[in-house]
Amino acid sequence: MSFASFSVQSAHGRRFLGLMRALGSLRVPSQCAICRAWPAQRICTGCVARFAQPRARCLRCALPVPAGVHTCGACLRTPPLLDACYAAVDYGYPWAGVIADFKFRGDPGWAAALAGLLRATPGAEPALDAADRVLPVPLARARLRERGFNQAALLAQQLAAHKTDKHLLLRLRDTQAQSSLPRHARLRNLQGAFAVEPLRAAGLAGQRVVLIDDVLTTGATLDAAAQALRTAGAAHITALVLARTPAAR
104 and 16: one domain? no
Domain boundary residue, one of 31, 53, 75: 53
120 and 160: one domain? yes
Please state the rounded mean pLDDT for residues 10-18: 53
123 and 214: one domain? yes
The domain of 4 spans 1-53
Count of residues making up the chain: 249
62 and 137: one domain? yes
139 and 40: one domain? no
Residue 123 resides in a domain: yes
Share of the chain above pLDDT 90, in %: 67
37 and 142: one domain? no
What is the amino acid identity at position 104? F
80 and 151: one domain? yes
155 and 216: one domain? yes
Residue 98 has pLDDT above 90, yes or no: yes
121 and 106: one domain? yes
Residue 249 resides in a domain: no
196 and 210: one domain? yes
117 and 196: one domain? yes
More confident residue, 88 or 188: 88
What residue ranges in the chain does DSSP mark as E strands? 84-90, 133-136, 169-171, 194-196, 208-216, 236-244
Closest CA to 62 of 85, 82, 80: 85
pLDDT at res. 142: 84
CATH of the domain at 133: 3.40.50
- Domain count within the chain: 2
46 and 105: one domain? no
| pLDDT tens profile 144-171 | 888 899 999 999 999 999 999 999 999 9
pLDDT at res. 15: 55
pLDDT at res. 131: 98
| pLDDT tens profile 16-57 | 555 544 444 444 557 899 999 987 788 998 999 999 999 999
**Do 131 and 209 meet the contact criterion of CB atoms below 8 Å apart?**
yes
| pLDDT tens profile 104-140 | 888 898 999 999 999 999 999 999 999 999 999 999 8
* pTM for this prediction: 0.83
